[in-house]
A = this chain, B = another copy of it.
Amino acid sequence: MATMASLFLKTPGPSQSLPKTHKTHFVLPQNLPLSWRSKYRAGPPAAARIRCGLIEPDGGKLVELIVEEPQRDLKRRQTLSLPQIKLSKIDIQWVHVLSEGWASPLKGFMRESEFLQTLHFNSLRLGDGSVVNMSVPIVLAIDDSNKNNIGDSSSVALVDDKDNPIAILNDVEIYKHNKEERTARTWGTTAPGLPYAEQAITHAGNWLIGGDLEVIEPIKYHDGLDRFRLSPAELRDEFTRRNADAVFAFQLRNPVHNGHALLMTDTRRRLLEMGYKNPVLLLHPLEVLEDGVLDPETTVVSIFPSPMHYAGPTEVQWHAKARINAGANFYIVGRDPAGMGHPLEKRDLYDADHGKKVLSMAPGLERLNILPFKVAAYDKTQNGMAFFDPSRPQDFLFISGTKMRALAKNKESPPDGFMCPGGWKVLVDYYDSLTPSENVRVPEPVPV
C-alpha cells in the first residue's frame, strides 16, 4: 500500500476545477505503427483522431453531480420530505460513478430512452446529433411498493441501509424493468449464474427509475483505499500537472505481474517513438503494485470505482469510455476483456478476440486509440517475462490470472521473475486472510 502511495496520492482538499482541454491537433509522425489500429476500425485516418493534450470528456464537459458544501444541509433536510428508496451497495457504487462524471454526459440513472439506446445501440445520441458510447445500463431498480410510495412525486430521496441520505433523484421517470431482455442484450445469454445478474437484477424490482442526481457529498467507503479512488477531474488535474501529451489506460483485475509491466513499459517506448514527449500511464488495477517495476514519474495508479458486469465485449466499451472521461486517449486491451466462463457450459462465454474487435468498432469511441495486447509469457530460457516468440513456443510458459490465484491460494510460488516477490507475498497474505465463506467458487472470470 505504501508503494502505491508513493506513486500518486490524492491531493487533500478541494481541487475540483476542470483543466482546460487543448484543442490543437497533434501532427502525427510518419512512423505511426498502423498495426496498432485494428483492421476492424473503419472511418477517418488515425491522424485526424490523435490530439495533443487531454482528450475532451464525452459531451464536451465533465459531469459532476456533488452538491456544493454550503447547500448540503439544505439538501439533507429536503430528503426528509421526499419518498425514500433504499440503495444497495452496488447502487451506491453507481451513484459514485455517476457523481464524478465517469459516465458523462449522463446526469443520473438512465431514463427509458437512454436505457433503450444502451441496450440496442451501445451508444447515446446527444441533442446536437453527436454520439457517445454507452454500453452498460446504469439503472436503478425499484419494486411495486417503492413505486406506489413515490406516486406522483417528481423527486425521491436515495438513502443507504441506515437511512442516511445519499442523493436526491429529480424529474424521475419510472418504466418497466424487463430483466430477461436486459440480461440477454447485455450479456448475450440468460443462463442463471451471471454474478452481476444474481446480485443486482434477478431479485431486483420490476421497475426502473431514472432521473437527474444531486449527490449530497462525495461517496466514501472508509476502507483505507478512498485516497486511491481518484475522480476523473482529479485525474485530469494530475495529467495536466504532469504535462502529459498522451495518457494510456490499462485496466486489469488480476495481480500485476512482470508480463503486464513489460507490456506497459513497451507501450510507453512505442508512444515515445511515435513522437509523444510525455506519455503517462493510468493504471487502474484491483490489486497492488510494488518494487518500482513501473516508473512512478510516468504512472498514475488509481482505483476505478465501477462495479464489474463480466459482460465481455459489451462491458469493455464502458471501461474504455469511462477512461475518456478521466482523460485517457489510449486504451490497452487484452484477450477476452471482462469475460468469464459460461455459467452452465464448459466454454468461455465470449470469443477471446471479440472484446478488442467490438471496442475497435464501437460508436462514440472513435477518438480513443485502441492498443491491442501483445502476448507476454514466461520465457524459461531467460527466467523472466518476455513477448511471446511464436518461432520457439516450447520456451514459453503461460500463467493465467486464474492459475496465479490458484498458486497464491495454495501458497505455492510462481517461477522466478514472474512477479515481484513483494507483490506475491501480498497476494498470498490476501488469500490467507479470507474466511472460507469468502473463498468459495464463483463462476471464474477469465483473466485479462
Q: Which residues of A contact B (CB under 8 A)?
A: 40, 42-44, 112-113, 116-117, 119-123, 125-129, 131, 135, 176, 178, 180-181, 184-185, 187-190, 313-314, 350-351, 354, 357-358, 361-363, 366
Contacts and interface: CB of A to CB of B under 8 A. Distances in A.
Given A178-B351, A185-B184, A351-B176, A358 B120 contact: yes
A128 B117 CA distance: 24
B42 A126 contact: yes
A361 B126 contact: no
Contact of A42 (B116, B127, B184, B190): B127
A253 B127 CA distance: 35
A128 B366 CA distance: 13
A22 to B, nearest CB: 23
B357 A116 contact: yes
Copies, count: 2
A116 B116 CA distance: 19
Given A181-B350, A184-B188, 4 more contacts: A113-B357, A121-B123, A178-B188, A181-B189
A85 to B, nearest CB: 23
Nearest to A176: B351
A177 to B, nearest CB: 11
Given A120-B358, A357-B113, A363-B121, A44 B129 contact: yes
Nearest to A126: B42
Contacts of A42: 125-127, 129
Contacts of A361: 113, 116-117, 120-121, 125
8 contacts: A43-B129, A44-B129, A120-B135, A131-B363, A184-B185, A184-B189, A189-B190, A190-B190
B120 A313 contact: yes
A103 B218 CA distance: 50
Contacts of A113: 40, 357, 361
A248 B44 CA distance: 34
Contacts of A121: 121-123, 361-363
Given A178-B351, A358-B116, A187 B188 contact: no
Given A184-B185, A189-B180, A189-B184, A354 B125 contact: no
Contacts of A117: 361
A420 to B, nearest CB: 38
A116 B122 CA distance: 12
Most buried by B among A121, A131, A178, A350: A121
A112 B176 CA distance: 33
Nearest to A187: B184
Contacts of A351: 176, 178
A117 B120 CA distance: 11
A113 B181 CA distance: 24
Contacts of A135: 120
Contacts of A120: 122, 135, 313-314, 358, 361-362
A38 to B, nearest CB: 9
Nearest to A48: B129
Contact of A188 (B127, B180, B350): B180
B184 A123 contact: no
Contacts of A40: 113
Most buried by B among A112, A116, A178, A187: A116
Contacts of A119: 188
Contacts of A366: 129
A112 B363 CA distance: 17
A155 to B, nearest CB: 22
A39 to B, nearest CB: 8
Nearest to A45: B129
A354 B116 contact: yes
A441 to B, nearest CB: 23
A229 B220 CA distance: 64
Given A44-B129, A354-B116, A358-B116, A363 B181 contact: no
Nearest to A354: B116
Contacts of A125: 42-43, 361, 363
